[in-house]
Chain A
């Protein structure tokens, strides 16, 4: 299947700092990437849809100024959690849509964020 990577896999930061998470499609070009958040033992919660070269579309209730998304190229999208607080601690997962292979979403391995 298609390969999607995320970096870092785990990050611990102090409250008030900003954290950037990268999502890369390694073997295909992704015009659309998605960012999810997952709480323990819960399903995926879509945060935003990231389109290459345009502004991200955020789901209702997701603060766009808090979670900055940039999709600068066909293989890279970034999520920046600004002024992180302990309640932002979570598992963040990205996915990318592969038009050529299966026409569905392939997920990254996730990034675990812990804000102290």
Chain B
């Protein structure tokens, strides 16, 4: 079993829809959770960074962490064609500088105009 599982998609939704992206994990030591957005042929861009359980909102994006279920989500409201990208979840047990991130495989999202 992989440490982090993420549905690879592809996921296609119409413009304006709410998008839900999810990851599950098996390592209960993970405490820091991130979502990155990666456009084709570009490096990943940090979207959301959360610590422990709870919700965090930033504009149209909401990150949700449920440590009891080992489940994290990213919601995108009022989705736009510019949101079309691959979304990677990532997590770590600490925020020490030399700690590696464990990534999901990424979900390819397409927003249809």
Most chain-B Cβ atoms within 10 A of its Cβ — which of A30, A43, A107, A109?
A43
Interface segment among B12-20, B60-68, B103-111: the answer is B103-111
Please, which residue of chain B has its CB at the minimum distance from the CB of A32? B97
Most chain-B Cβ atoms within 10 A of its Cβ — which of A42, A91, A109?
A109
Q: Among the listed B32, B42, B88, which residue makes an inter-chain contact with A109, where contact means beta carbons less than 8 Å apart?
A: B42
* Chief secondary structure at chain B's binding surface: loop
CB of A46 closer than 8 Å to a CB of B: yes
**Number of residues of chain B lying within 8 A (CB) of chain A:** 21
A106 touches B98 (CB 8 A): no
Q: Among the listed A30, A49, A51, A106, which residue makes an inter-chain contact with B46, where contact means beta carbons less than 8 Å apart?
A: A106
CB of A93 closer than 8 Å to a CB of B: yes
Interface string of B52-83 (1 = CB under 8 A from A): 00000000000000000000000000000000
Tell me the bound Cα distance from A86 to B70 in angstroms. Answer: 40
The interface residues of chain B lying within 8 Å CB-to-CB of A1 are 45-46
The interface residues of chain A lying within 8 Å CB-to-CB of B106 are 43
B95 touches A103 (CB 8 A): yes
CB of B113 closer than 8 Å to a CB of A: no
Given contacts A104-B32, A104-B34, A107-B36, contact A32 B98 (CB under 8 A): yes
A32-B97, A43-B103, A107-B36 given; name 16 further pairs at CB < 8 Å: A6-B43, A44-B103, A51-B98, A91-B41, A102-B49, A103-B32, A104-B46, A104-B95, A104-B101, A105-B46, A105-B101, A107-B43, A107-B45, A110-B41, A110-B43, A112-B41
Query: Ordered nearest first, which 5 A-B pairs have the shortest CB separation?
Result: A107-B43, A103-B95, A97-B97, A32-B97, A110-B43
